Amino acid sequence: MAVSLPIDIDSVKGFLAADEGEALFEMALQASTLAPCLEIGSYCGKSTVYLGCACRQNNSVLYALDHHRGSEEHQLGEQYHDPELYDAGVKAMDSFPVFRDTLARAGLDDTVVPLVTSSSVASRHWATPLGMVFIDGGHSEAAAQTDYRCWAGHVVRGGILAIHDIFPDPADGGQAPYHIWQLARASGLFEHLPTVNTLGLFRRR
């Protein structure tokens, strides 16, 4: 059954399929009863709306972590570059103004806490247990490994680890998210849950 959202989700730029968004909502609805949730890679806020609306139902918080300068594939001249998100004044991609507009339109300003920095910097002194971690940041091997190494261990028992863009076949997409999915599955820390489209899901043991 489709999730009822406060805005037209198709009006938000992003690469999240509807079934993946609905799965994120359902997982966050459970996980946010345990502790706050965190997403890595907010972009313009599509996943943030699903996760934030679930957290709001439980009077919880979603930390939305993104430096908002874009992943490798978003840069000038790359495959997923969006000219509307390019700030010519600083000669860099900047999705933060659009992200904030999404939060305002969805009424999530009192639920979502934006963290505008890199994954490694944000994690340096992090001490808050997390009910859910959703990894959808940079898709280079280094970025994905950093996100997994820095954040997976903060998921509380019974909480959820979600990883986007899982492509077992290299012909279908980049392999870095699949590699950290494999790490999570082999770690012994997580119970493997059914994958939804390209969304890998685990529950912390």
**Cα–Cα distance, 199 to 89 (Å, whole number):** 36
**Cα–Cα distance, 202 to 190 (Å, whole number):** 6
74 is catalytic: no
Q: Residues 74, 139, 154, 164: which is the catalytic one?
A: 139
**Cα–Cα distance, 185 to 205 (Å, whole number):** 12
68 to 23, 93, 94, 110: CA distances (angstroms): 24, 7, 5, 20
Which of these, 184, 190, 146, lies nearest to 166 by C-alpha position? 184
**Cα–Cα distance, 63 to 137 (Å, whole number):** 14
Catalytic residue set = 139
